[in-house]
Chain A
Amino acid sequence: NAGVTQTPKFQVLKTGQSMTLQCAQDMNHEYMSWYRQDPGMGLRLIHYSVGAGITDQGEVPNGYNVSRSTTEDFPLRLLSAAPSQTSVYFCASSQDRDQPQHFGDGTRLSIL
Chain B
Amino acid sequence: GQNIDQPTEMTATEGAIVQINCTYQTSGFNGLFWYQQHAGEAPTFLSYNVLDGLEEKGRFSSFLSRSKGYSYLLLKELQMKDSASYLCAVRPKRAGGYNKLIFGAGTRLAVHP
Contact = CB atoms under 8 A, between A and B. Distances in A.
| Chain A complexes with chain B | yes
Interface of A: 31, 35, 40-45, 48, 50, 56, 58, 90, 94, 97-106
Interface of B: 4, 31, 33, 41-45, 48, 87, 89, 94, 96-106
B98 A43 contact: no
A45 B105 contact: no
A100 B103 contact: no
The majority secondary structure among interface residues of chain A is: loop
10 contacts: A42-B87, A42-B102, A42-B104, A43-B101, A43-B103, A44-B103, A45-B101, A97-B94, A100-B45, A103-B42
Contacts of A56: 96, 98
A102 B44 CA distance: 7
Contact of B48 (A31, A41, A100, A104): A100
A101 B105 contact: no
A41 B100 CA distance: 17
